[in-house]
């Protein structure tokens, strides 16, 4: 593991411990009350979900057109994180929605396209696991299409009348809400980087095992 | 004796609801609906369980993932060391 | 040169298919069974559910399309003709477009049968605005087939390809299918609103452009060993 891993992990752990304090001290929102506090984990995990899809897509493009196996390992790790943060987003969202909108789920553009984006990531994982040889390139192709979905997910909520809040909420946040949000977002970003590095290391070790097996049979 | 106790209990259990009902005023039969703007607090959905569930899920999911990656890493590390030992001893698979 | 290759591939596929008509018949019959299953499942007291026709039509097209894609490339795999095609001095995008047009023709032929069937079984006035319907079906089929041809071609040498094709295809093409269903729904509504329909068709077209661009760009690196 690189030198920056343990110090960063320490910082991330401290920030994770401090986040609930900041969230508890944030004011209540006028219409949603206590349940709005889910926002401070729902939004950062949604950002990691979409950001992970972009990381996976870019790494996939570089793997497809340059053949660099490190990019392939990065893409696989990023896809797994997309599944993880996607699950967190898609569970915390409905828990909030149950109170704020009265329903667990609505088939509006934002929710539907997010669910589809998550399913693309799950399909990526299935393809890597069960696709056999050559599935690294195929998965890279899939990841490209998944990345094309991300801008659609983001701006869809501004152009269709949906029940989900628009992207105008974050730029216009008062500081009392903004501080816990951005602190939580940085914590999630650090966690994303740490998890990504761990997962890439797993693939690197697997690749070393493969090379060792090949060298032994020679 | 037992029969007498049983009869006494039955009579009392029939009588007590009657006593209770006599002390409370009979419910008004509703013949019109009255609108209100907000539900009274005891009918609204409590937010705290949802909030707790959300945060618990986040922590559990992240923890489960870290454990999964760590476990896979240890397995791979173990196999790598075994293989390197084999190679060093000059043997093949 | 590009057009020549596309035409050659299209002619080759058409010639092979016409000899046995295997894929055409099986895809068509599968589409019809799909619609019938929906009819049996959803019809209550002899009446179909309101507004169900649009969704059922597009589901039948999606399922039949997946089958057709799988069977077309299975045929290529068995005869190793895909490798031969790739070895030929032909631009890869031209090969992709040739296969794509073949799939579109096959699906369009299936739709010629499925549309009247759905209109009949679900009492839906699908043929009220034939030009609009043709436009919606054509753009939607192009979008679905664009992604489908790419994925089916790249899965030819993968394991578990039969089950992986729907798993990969549906999440990506869901936006096209949703837009197609909504556009068809607008068509079926008693108050026909051309403006709303135009918006939905424009959306399908934009998806088509994105999918075709991505597919043409990635076909070559995906098909090389």
CA dist A67 and A63 (Å) reads 5
pLDDT at B29 over 80: no
Are C106 and C114 a contacting pair, CB within 8 Å?
A: no
A84-114 as b/e: b if 16+ CB within 10 A: bbbbbbbbbbbbbbbbbeeeeebeebbbbbb
What percent of chain A has a predicted confidence (pLDDT) above 70? 99
- pLDDT: which is higher, B35 or A191: A191
Read off the pLDDT of each residue in C33-54 and give the average, rounded to a whole number: 83
pLDDT in tens, C45-69: 777 777 788 999 999 999 999 999 9
Nearest CB partner across the interface for B76, out of A84, A96, A202 = A202
Listing DSSP states for C184-218 in one string gives HHHHHSSS--HHHHHHHHHHHHHHHHHHHHHHHHH
Taking phi first (over 0 means left), then psi (-120 to 50 degrees means alpha), and beta for anything else, what does residue C43 get?
A: beta
pLDDT at B47 over 70: yes
Q: Where are the domains of chain B?
A: 47-93
Residue A81 CA to chain centroid, in angstroms?
6
* ipTM, two decimals: 0.89
Read off the pLDDT of each residue in A115-131 and give the average, rounded to a whole number: 93
pLDDT at C37 over 60: yes
Place C91 in a pLDDT band, splitting at 50, 70 and 90.
Answer: confident
Read off the pLDDT of each residue in B7-11 and give the average, rounded to a whole number: 69
pLDDT in tens, C146-165: 999 999 998 888 888 888 99
Cβ–Cβ contact A73 with B under 8 A: no
CA distance A157 to chain C (A): 15
Cβ–Cβ contact A78 with B under 8 A: no
CB spacing of B47 vs A35 below 8 angstroms: yes
pLDDT at B17 over 60: no
Q: Which chain A positions have a beta carbon within 8 Å of B73's beta carbon?
A: 198, 201-202, 205
Place C108 in a pLDDT band, splitting at 50, 70 and 90.
Answer: very high
CA distance A170 to chain B (A): 21
Burial group, residue C216, by CB count within 10 angstroms (0-12, 13-18, 19+): middle
CA dist C51 and C63 (Å) reads 20
CA dist C211 and C176 (Å) reads 10
CA distances from C155 to A112, B48, C70, C93, C160 (A): 26, 48, 9, 17, 9
A144-148, C63-67, C83-87, C217-221 — which is least confidently predicted? Answer: C83-87
Cβ–Cβ contact B64 with A under 8 A: no
The pLDDT assigned to C77 comes to 84
CA distances from B71 to A198, B74, B78, C57 (A): 11, 5, 11, 48
Query: Nearest 5°: phi and psi at B87?
Result: -65, -40
As a whole number of Å, the end-to-end CA separation of chain A is 30
Are A27 and C185 a contacting pair, CB within 8 Å?
A: no
Beta-bridge partner residues of C44: C47
CA dist A117 and A50 (Å) reads 9
* Residues of the domain holding C194: 2-223
Are C118 and C56 a contacting pair, CB within 8 Å?
A: yes
User: What's the mean pLDDT when you consider all of chain C?
Assistant: 89
Helix (H) or strand (E) holding B44: none
- Tell me, yes or no, whether chains C and B touch by having 3 or more C-beta pairs under 8 A: no
Read off the pLDDT of each residue in A94-123 and give the average, rounded to a whole number: 91
Q: Which of B65, B90, B93 to mutate to test the interface with A (most CBs of A within 10 A)?
A: B65
Place A171 in a pLDDT band, splitting at 50, 70 and 90.
Answer: confident
pLDDT at B43 over 70: no
**pTM of the predicted model over 0.90:** no
The pLDDT assigned to B10 comes to 72
Are A96 and B51 a contacting pair, CB within 8 Å?
A: no
Contacts of A159 (CB under 8 A, 6+ apart): none
């Amino acid at each position: 593991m690189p030198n920056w891993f343990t110090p960063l992990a320490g910082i991330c752990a401290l920030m994770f411990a401090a986040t609930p304090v900041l969230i508890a001290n944030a004011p209540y929102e006028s219409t949603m009350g206590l349940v709005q506090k889910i926002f401070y984990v729902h939004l950062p995990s949604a950002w990691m979900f979409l950001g992970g899809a972009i990381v996976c897509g870019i790494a996939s493009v570089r793997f497809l057109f340059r053949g660099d196996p490190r990019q392939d390992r990065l893409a696989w790790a990023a896809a797994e994180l997309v599944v993880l943060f996607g699950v967190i987003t898609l569970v915390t969202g409905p828990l909030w929605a149950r109170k704020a909108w009265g329903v667990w789920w609505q088939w509006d553009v934002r929710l539907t396209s997010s669910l589809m984006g998550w399913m693309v990531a799950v399909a990526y994982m299935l393809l890597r696991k069960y696709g056999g040889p050559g599935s690294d390139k195929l998965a890279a192709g899939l990841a490209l299409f998944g990345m094309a979905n991300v801008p659609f997910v983001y701006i869809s909520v501004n152009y269709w009348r949906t029940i989900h809040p628009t992207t105008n909420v974050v730029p216009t946040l008062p500081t009392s809400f903004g501080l816990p949000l951005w602190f939580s977002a940085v914590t999630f970003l650090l966690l994303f980087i740490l998890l990504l590095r761990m997962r890439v290391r797993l693939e690197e070790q697997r690749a070393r095992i493969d090379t060792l097996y090949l060298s032994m049979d020679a | 004796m037992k029969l007498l106790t049983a009869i006494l209990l039955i009579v009392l259990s029939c009588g007590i609801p009657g006593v209770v009902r006599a002390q409370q005023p009979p419910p008004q039969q509703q013949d019109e609906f009255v609108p209100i703007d907000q539900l009274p607090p005891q009918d609204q959905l409590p937010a705290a369980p949802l909030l707790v569930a959300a945060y618990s899920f986040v922590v559990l999911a992240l923890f489960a993932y870290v454990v999964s990656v760590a476990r896979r890493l240890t397995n791979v590390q173990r196999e790598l060391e075994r293989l390197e030992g084999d190679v060093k001893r000059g043997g093949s698979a | 040169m590009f057009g020549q290759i596309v035409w050659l591939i299209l002619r080759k596929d058409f010639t092979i298919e016409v000899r046995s008509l295997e894929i055409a018949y099986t895809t068509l019959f599968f589409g019809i069974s799909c619609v019938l299953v929906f009819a049996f499942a959803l019809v209550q007291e002899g009446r179909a559910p309101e507004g169900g026709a649009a969704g059922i039509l597009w589901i039948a097209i999606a399922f039949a399309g997946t089958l057709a894609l799988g069977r077309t490339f299975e045929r290529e795999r068995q005869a190793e003709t895909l490798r031969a095609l790739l070895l030929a001095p032909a631009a890869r995008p031209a090969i992709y477009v040739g296969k794509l047009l073949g799939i579109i023709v096959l699906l369009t032929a299936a739709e010629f049968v499925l549309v009247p069937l759905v209109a009949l079984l679900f009492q839906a006035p699908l043929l009220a605005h034939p030009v609009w319907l043709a436009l919606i079906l054509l753009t939607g089929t192009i979008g679905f087939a664009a992604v489908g041809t790419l994925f089916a071609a790249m899965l030819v040498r993968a394991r578990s390809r039969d089950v992986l094709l729907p798993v990969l295809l549906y999440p990506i093409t869901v936006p096209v299918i949703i837009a197609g269903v909504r556009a068809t729904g607008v068509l079926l509504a008693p108050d026909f609103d051309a403006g709303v329909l135009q918006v939905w068709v424009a959306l399908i077209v934009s998806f088509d452009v994105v999918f075709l661009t991505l597919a043409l760009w990635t076909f070559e690196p995906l098909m090389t060993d």
